[in-house]
Amino acid sequence: MKFARCEHEADTSRAARTGFWSDALRQHAKSCNACSEAAAVTQALLEESTRIRTENRPPAAAHTWLEARRRTRLHLRHRALFWFRALRTLTLIYVPALLIWALSHHSAPVHEPWKPSFRSDFASILTGPAVPFALTGALLAALCITMGSWYLLREARTPLQHGATR
């Protein structure tokens, strides 16, 4: 296929779209194969465009707006759920760890009666190796709660209603 192109093709198409033809361009379009094709195709497409635009109206803007709001709320809820699920996972890790730690820490020898001593227990907790682990868990839990709540608050501030622009 021979690749025939004319530098006036865009001008011809623009003239066909707007209806403003200069005499020189009109004469040129009659003699130039590429430009006459461009004019014919533009004309046919414009007829199709006019028909589509007159026969069909797009849906109301308000519907699209409300749909976007609904999706935004869903999106924010998903984000909040992500953080709360992370919190649940954290709980599933920390609760068994806490139980294991507590059992191992407070297991007393069989021959000695167990004497609870609040002061010594508290001191060992504050200075023991479990402190960074526990602190990390607490910080992560706080982060999850904060982020999840933030998304829920944002969701609450995205009401499913619109103004008078129907």
> Which residue type sits at 5?
R
Contact between 21 and other proteins per CB under 8 A? no
The piece of 48-56, 89-97, 113-121, 130-138 that touches other proteins (CB under 8 A) is 48-56
The piece of 22-30, 37-45, 102-110, 114-122 that touches other proteins (CB under 8 A) is 37-45
Contact between 30 and other proteins per CB under 8 A? no
- Exposure string of 55-68, with b = 16+ CB inside 10 Å and e = fewer, is eeeeeeeeeeeeee
Residue 151 and residue 75 in contact, taking contact as beta carbons nearer than 8 Å: no
Beta strands in the chain (DSSP E): none
Q: How far is CA 150 from CA 33, 78, 80, 82, 87, in A?
A: 64, 12, 8, 12, 14
Contact between 38 and other proteins per CB under 8 A? yes
Q: Which of 8, 28, 46, 141 touches other proteins by CB under 8 A?
A: 46
CA distance 94 to 101: 10
Contact between 53 and other proteins per CB under 8 A? yes
Residues in region 106-135 near other proteins by CB under 8 A: none
Report helix, strand or coil for 60. Answer: coil
The piece of 12-20, 87-95, 103-111, 124-132 that touches other proteins (CB under 8 A) is 12-20
Enumerate binding residues for other proteins (CB under 8 A): 1, 3-5, 10, 13-14, 16-17, 37-38, 40-42, 44-49, 51-56, 58-59, 61-65, 67-69, 71-72, 75-76, 79, 151, 157-158, 162-163, 165
